[in-house]
């Protein structure tokens, strides 16, 4: 449950507009890779209560470096016989026992099933390297280049059982330049993601801490004004380096 410092805010329906209120919510980051998104979140001042990983990865070292509690909820089976539902129940139990209220998927390599979504309905955020609903799936950057579109981007959305299909919280466009390779374009999208995702997480955590007053579209509308447009700045910085 959200801490007693809720009472310091005059009205719940306006409290979530203050990102500092996000500190009331216990956030877990689920990771499988290097942990660059986790690192970006911490550097933006977001308080992370737990890092959960499904395999040995760089995020473990980052969690230790930032003195964040770590749960090694390793998968032992990567075959077609993998008990995804059983594993998801294990993850849900780990998160609930740690008092987690909000989850940020950060390059987590295991698609989770119903037990996690039942335990945290509307409380799981994810990011995707395209402007959803365009180019859903594992090869979004490759597909955007193959179709010849001139603009793609980054989407932060609520995760649902249907992969890459949840409500959109924030998006930022990224231009596709002539001559872009999949690697070059993906890195430019990641530059945007490392700013957009922490900013959106902070706002949504405050939204949750305030009792989720107001509807989803109110959050989306107000956050579009509060979350800075980062694509051009990130691209320009990359060109100058």
Name the active-site residue from 66, 117, 128, 157. 128
% of the chain residues with pLDDT over 70: 78
**Predicted pLDDT of residue 5:** 31
**Predicted pLDDT of residue 156:** 95
Q: Which residues pair with 71 in a beta bridge?
A: 52
* CATH label, 21-121, candidates 3.20.20.80, 3.30.110.30, 2.60.120.10, 3.40.50.170: 3.40.50.170
Mean pLDDT across the stretch 68-92? 97
Minimal CA–CA distance to 112: which of 149, 79, 146, 161? 161
CATH 3.40.50.170, the chain: domain bounds = 21-121, 125-241
Within 100-211, residue ranges assigned H as helices are 114-119, 140-147, 182-209
The pLDDT tens digits of the residues spanning 22-73 come to: 568 999 999 999 999 999 999 999 999 999 999 999 999 999 999 999 999 9
**63 vs 216, higher pLDDT:** 63
Q: Is the pLDDT of residue 19 over 80?
A: no
**Predicted pLDDT of residue 23:** 63
Is 66 in the active site? no
- The CATH code for residues 125-241 is 3.40.50.170
The pLDDT tens digits of the residues spanning 142-151 come to: 999 999 999 9
**Predicted pLDDT of residue 100:** 97
Residues whose CB falls within 8 Å of the CB of residue 186, separated by 6 or more in sequence, listed in order: 129, 141
For residue 86, how far is the Cα from the chain centroid?
23
Look at strands 168-175 and 151-158 and give their pairing: antiparallel
Q: State how far the alpha carbon of 103 is from the alpha carbons of 27, 78, 96, 208, in Å.
A: 6, 23, 11, 11
- For 16-20, 146-150, 171-175, which range has the lowest pLDDT when averaged over its residues? 16-20
* Whether 189 contacts 162, CB under 8 Å: no
pLDDT bin (cut points 50, 70, 90) of residue 134 is very high
Mean pLDDT across the stretch 113-136? 96
């Amino acid at each position: 449950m959200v801490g007693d410092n809720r009472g310091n805010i005059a009205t719940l329906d306006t409290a979530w507009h203050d990102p500092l209120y996000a500190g009331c919510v216990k956030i877990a980051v689920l990771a499988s890779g290097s942990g660059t998104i986790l690192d970006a979140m911490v550097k933006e001042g977001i308080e992370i209560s737990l890092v959960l990983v499904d395999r040995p990865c760089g995020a473990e070292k980052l969690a230790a470096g930032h003195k964040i509690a770590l749960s090694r909820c390793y998968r032992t089976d990567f075959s077609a016989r993998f008990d995804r539902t059983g594993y998801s129940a294990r993850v849900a139990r780990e998160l609930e026992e740690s008092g987690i209220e909000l989850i940020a998927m950060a390059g987590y390599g295991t698609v989770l099933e119903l037990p996690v979504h039942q335990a945290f309905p509307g409380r799981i955020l994810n990011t995707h390297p395209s402007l959803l609903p365009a180019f859903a799936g594992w090869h979004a950057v490759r597909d955007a280049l193959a179709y010849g579109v001139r603009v793609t981007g980054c989407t932060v959305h609520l995760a649902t059982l249907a992969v890459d299909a949840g409500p959109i919280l924030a998006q930022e466009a990224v231009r596709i330049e002539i001559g872009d390779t999949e690697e070059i374009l993906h890195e430019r999208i990641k530059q945007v993601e490392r700013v957009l995702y922490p900013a959106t997480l902070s706002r949504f955590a405050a939204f949750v801490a305030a009792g989720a007053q107001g509807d989803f579209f109110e959050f989306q509308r107000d956050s579009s004004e509060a979350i800075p447009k980062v694509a051009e700045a990130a691209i320009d910085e990359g060109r100058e380096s």
